[in-house]
Amino acid sequence: MVDEENGEASNYRRLISASPAPINLFDESGTIIWGNDAVVELLGLESREQLIGRSIFEFIISDDHYTAKQELVDVVENETSSGPTPMQLQRDDGETRRIQVSTAPGRYRGRNIGQAVVVDVTELQNTYEELEKQRQFVDDALNTLPDVFYYITPGGELNRWNDSLLEVSGYDEEEVRTMDIEDFFVESHTDRISDSIATALAEGGDSVEATVVTKRGTEIPFEFRKRRLLEDGEVVGLVGIGRDISERKAREQHLRAVDYLLKHNFRNQLNIIHGTVEMVNDSISAQDPSAVGRIETAIDRLLSIFDNHHLIVDQLTTPQSTEAVDVVAILESIVREHSDAYPAATITSDLPERVTVSAMPALKLALRELVENAIEHNDRREPRVDIAVQATESRVTIQISDDGPLIPEMEYRSFSNDRLVHSTYHSTGFGLWFVHLVVMQSGGLLHFDHGETRGNVVTVELPPQPTTWAN
């Protein structure tokens, strides 16, 4: 504490005069009593005479006046030290500087005063701000990527990610921070993910395909590429990109299915046509009136296959995006259409007034395919089809049930495992492939189950359009 009456003032003044840190003395009103050379230089003054007698509030910007007044009361009246406190001051030449101020009480000529030690942090703050701008630029750039960006620590922990990871997975920031990397994948793929991380850390890089499971249970095929990150020769982690390869996988599956399906069915159907035509040539003696009908059935079958094939190709090659679709209006239209086309069939529906989902425009064609299959592949004289829709805030469920023969597993099991598609195990048409593709691209799920006593239950789950669902 400075006390001139005790003969310490001259020693103290010499000490602070030599200090490289700006030191300022002021009274209870904020009037400057004295300051060292460093203060004079900081404020852009030519001499100490231009400083003494002026108020500290002449130099502190107006936004910080309240803070300065509070500290003035604390240090002079309450004799309490404070700080360091961030403030801004304006020099005589108009330049603004950022400072940190630490104050302590003192005595000068028998009265209380304040002592302030000032640290000019302008350059440091400018550096921090520039670094923050660069960091923000990098974050913004990463968040604009449609692909998932990630950083993995040497210990195999997910440490940083972009917004795409949150959008794809459906989890929020806090949830992701508590999850292990393996939690994002189907159980059968967790080992390959762990192995890929270990390989990349050891060898410098790796890529792997794995199926991501979102928060709502949707499975999405992804390809993950990653590279080892080094700092001063030491491994500090992995950085990588994850890309949704749903469309690529769908194309691969479709082409593989086309290869087997057309080879098998096309040859068989043509053999039927060939054999039947030979019979027609001998029809005068054979007297087989059903020969022409078999030709027509085989031709219709081929045409149906090619029609569904065209729908799939169109869905894969035409850029599309989801839109708001009223599934109730679609299903009501399908019920009317098929009730007229199949008068022997009984079609019932349990539908709410309106349910809007986020789906591909081709959803109507997909739902029509399911209803039509339930009727046409039914071996009863009076087939029955029941349609029901249930809606919650998180999902919309469409169930189409029938009392016909069971759908063979090979017609749909290959949707989730393309290794099951081979020359002796494959679907016999493209209708359900098309349904699966539309539902998948709409962010939904497709399930096939048996009825309680007979028949099939096909379930389509779709994401609702926000705030537009109704019971």
Q: What is the CATH number of domain 4-125?
A: 3.30.450.20
Tracing tokens 């894969």 back to the chain, one arrives at 316
pLDDT tens for each residue of 404-447: 999 888 777 766 555 545 444 444 567 888 898 899 889 899 99
- Choose among 267, 329, 315, 281: nearest CA to 437: 315
Q: How far apart are CA 44 and CA 52, in angstroms?
A: 14
Q: What is the pLDDT of residue 374?
A: 93
- Residue-wise pLDDT tens for the chain (471 aa)? 455 445 555 555 666 666 688 998 999 999 999 889 999 999 999 998 999 999 999 999 999 999 999 999 989 888 999 889 999 999 988 999 999 999 999 887 788 889 999 999 999 888 888 988 988 888 888 888 899 999 999 999 999 999 999 999 999 999 999 999 999 999 999 999 999 999 999 999 999 999 999 998 999 999 999 999 999 989 999 999 999 988 887 777 776 677 666 666 766 776 777 677 666 666 544 555 566 666 667 766 666 666 666 666 666 656 678 889 999 999 999 999 999 999 999 999 999 999 999 998 889 989 998 998 899 889 899 999 999 999 998 899 999 999 999 988 877 776 655 554 544 444 456 788 889 889 988 989 999 999 888 899 999 999 998 754 444
List the structure tokens of 7: 């003969």
Tracing tokens 């839109």 back to the chain, one arrives at 323
Q: How far apart are CA 311 and CA 123, in angstroms?
A: 64
Burial classification of residue 115, based on how many CB atoms lie within 10 Å of its CB (0-12 exposed, 13-18 middle, 19 or more buried): buried
Domains 145-244 and 249-462 share a fold: no
- In words, the CATH class of domain 145-244 is alpha beta
Q: How far apart are CA 227 and CA 207, in angstroms?
A: 9
Burial classification of residue 343, based on how many CB atoms lie within 10 Å of its CB (0-12 exposed, 13-18 middle, 19 or more buried): exposed
298: β partners: none
Cα distances from 73 to residues 24, 65, 83, 105, 265, in angstroms, run 16, 12, 13, 10, 94
* Cβ atoms within 10 Å of 412's Cβ, excluding its own: 18
- Give just the sign of the alpha carbon dihedral 79, 82, 86, 91: positive
Q: What is the pLDDT of residue 470?
A: 45
Q: What is the pLDDT of residue 142?
A: 87
Tracing tokens 């762990």 back to the chain, one arrives at 194
Whether the predicted model's global pTM rises above the 0.75 cut:
no
Tracing tokens 């890529």 back to the chain, one arrives at 207
Q: What is the pLDDT of residue 288?
A: 59
Q: What are the two backbone dihedrals, phi and then psi, of residue 197, each rounded to the nearest 5 degrees? A: -65, -45
- The ranges assigned to domains in the chain are 4-125, 145-244, 249-462
CB of 46 closer than 8 Å to CB of 32: no
Which CATH architecture best describes the domain 249-462?
2-Layer Sandwich (3.30)
